[in-house]
Structure 1
């Protein structure tokens, strides 16, 4: 089995993890085919190879699509996740789904951008009996990983091309490569930024590019929880009781209507 991803860096669209697998007896035969890192292939060539993978009865594949909304939700959660953790969970799902099909996995090759030794050890401990090889550029070294890369890339490109717009707005499709450094992508983000609601659901709000644009162009929002956290971080032992009392008072007695208008309680009638 080989595992690789497509769309880790872009600010637009999903990150897609893909896997491909076949009998170990076909290892040499795979090396004779045109599988290569999907980024080095033309779109037409990727589509052709993906069709071959789907039509080959001796090969199997699967993809795990992580939408921009899913990525943003996990990375902006109060217990913040990171992209490596999200990617690891996707890898687990692909392996476990394949095992659940009854596939006897013996060797798994994984492309990585993190610490390969640490990730390989973790996988080996989790799935005893399977030999793992984790290394950068695995999609260029192992044809089975190249096949997984093609499955992931073609799936992501199809999703971007046919992306259903959830918002009741017209969303242009000329968004360039989707990478933050692409001028066309930046122009698309600016053109589709709503000052109240932010970006369409195609966009990963958690990317720094987006947070900067929101800070610069959107209407400022003050969150009650941010004020409380700020107060808690600056507490001193001497002011602890007063600060806690004030926070509790704000939380239980004063409605946000009054706080937003800076209306203070000056007397208690009853």
Structure 2
């Protein structure tokens, strides 16, 4: 049932997860946080939390949870099913970040890098657990970036909670290992069942691991590049691998308002139509027909 829910979850969906166990509503709980898909050029990044009462951490460990990277795909799915079977004491939640959203965030004019996006998504999931009634007492987090500043950010956002942030938390704390499994299984299903909005019967799914250093992934990117419209939405267009292929195989674009430096015959920049008139000198040429038809005037003439 849980795996079917993952397949139906839309890429880019906000937090969603399992029902909150009754015991997690009245007992202090540990919450583990981890992600899958931070580095690939293809597919979403998935953040996950897993939680259970502090007194049940040994029972969680007995399920055989481990760092998802150390498990085969079949083993991850088997352990995810075990987590679902322990729904009377264990809960989980996910946030799926689609490739286009990741790239758009990283290319904002105001700096917003992948670390900040990761931190905000993780904190959003913790808040989702609190809002859902989970009695969160401890946060155990696999670090993104330097551990101490991240821990300080979490303590500021969630005062009163115990916070532990450290590298390799997914191999040190069972509740983080469980979150790692949830995130990786969800990402695997997102890739396997990805719906190509651009598909006209020509897009294949033989794209390998999705990591930039995978030859199969690189070859799939070359095959899937459309010179005018670029890549399918599965691709993180801000990644260097994708940018280089676009530069080499895409159609160059020249914007109409570009003003080539050193060319006295070049038309004025679009911004020049909104500039104030110089106090002295020859009058400026009449505005373009576009502005005249719409009766647009520079602000200093109103």
- TM-score normalised by length of structure 2: 0.76
Task: Return 5+ residue gaps in structure 1 as ranges.
Answer: 235-243, 257-270
> What does residue 150 of structure 1 align with?
181
> What does residue 101 of structure 1 align with?
132
Q: Does 1:180 align with 2:212?
A: yes
Q: Please state how far the C-alpha of 1:48 moved relative to its aligned partner.
A: 0.8
In structure 2, how many angstroms separate the alpha carbons of the residues matched to 1:255 and 1:92? 51
> What does residue 124 of structure 1 align with?
155
C-alpha RMSD over aligned residues? 2.4
In structure 2, how many angstroms separate the alpha carbons of the residues matched to 1:253 and 1:207? 41
> What does residue 83 of structure 2 align with?
53
Say whether the 8 Å CA contact 2:63–2:82 is kept in structure 1. Answer: no
SS class of match (1:180)? coil
- Larger mean Cα displacement after TM superposition, 32-41 or 58-67: 32-41
Q: Cα gap change, 1:54/1:211 in structure 2, threshold over 3 Å: closer, same or farther?
A: same
Task: Return 5+ residue gaps in structure 2 as ranges.
Answer: 1-30, 263-267, 276-285, 291-302
Which protein is richer in helix relative to its size? 1
For 1:151-170, list aligned pairs within 5 A. 151-169=182-200, 170=202
Deviations 1:185-216 (A, max 9, x none): 00000000000000000000010111111111
Say whether the 8 Å CA contact 2:65–2:178 is kept in structure 1. Answer: yes
> What does residue 195 of structure 1 align with?
227
Q: Cα gap change, 1:125/1:246 in structure 2, threshold over 3 Å: closer, same or farther?
A: closer
Q: Please state how far the C-alpha of 1:246 moved relative to its aligned partner.
A: 8.1
Deviations 1:197-253 (A, max 9, x none): 00000000010111111111100113457x47x97xx9xxxxxxxxx9984139994
Deviations 1:12-34 (A, max 9, x none): 00000000000000122223331
> What does residue 32 of structure 2 align with?
2
In structure 2, how many angstroms separate the alpha carbons of the residues matched to 1:78 and 1:255? 31
Q: Does 1:82 align with 2:113?
A: yes
In structure 1, how many angstroms separate the alpha carbons of the residues matched to 2:287 and 2:147? 53
Q: 2:272 pairs with 208, 228, 248, which one? A: 248
In structure 2, how many angstroms separate the alpha carbons of the residues matched to 1:208 and 1:254? 39
Q: Cα gap change, 1:216/1:104 in structure 2, threshold over 3 Å: closer, same or farther?
A: same
Matched residue pairs, number? 244
SS class of match (1:61)? strand
- Larger mean Cα displacement after TM superposition, 147-156 or 54-63: 54-63
> What does residue 62 of structure 1 align with?
93
Q: Please state how far the C-alpha of 1:92 moved relative to its aligned partner.
A: 1.4
Q: Please state how far the C-alpha of 1:77 moved relative to its aligned partner.
A: 2.6
- TM-score normalised by length of structure 1: 0.84
Q: Cα gap change, 1:180/1:255 in structure 2, threshold over 3 Å: closer, same or farther?
A: farther
Deviations 1:95-140 (A, max 9, x none): 0110001111000100013100010011001100111100111000
Say whether the 8 Å CA contact 2:144–2:150 is kept in structure 1. Answer: no
In structure 1, how many angstroms separate the alpha carbons of the residues matched to 2:94 and 2:82? 16
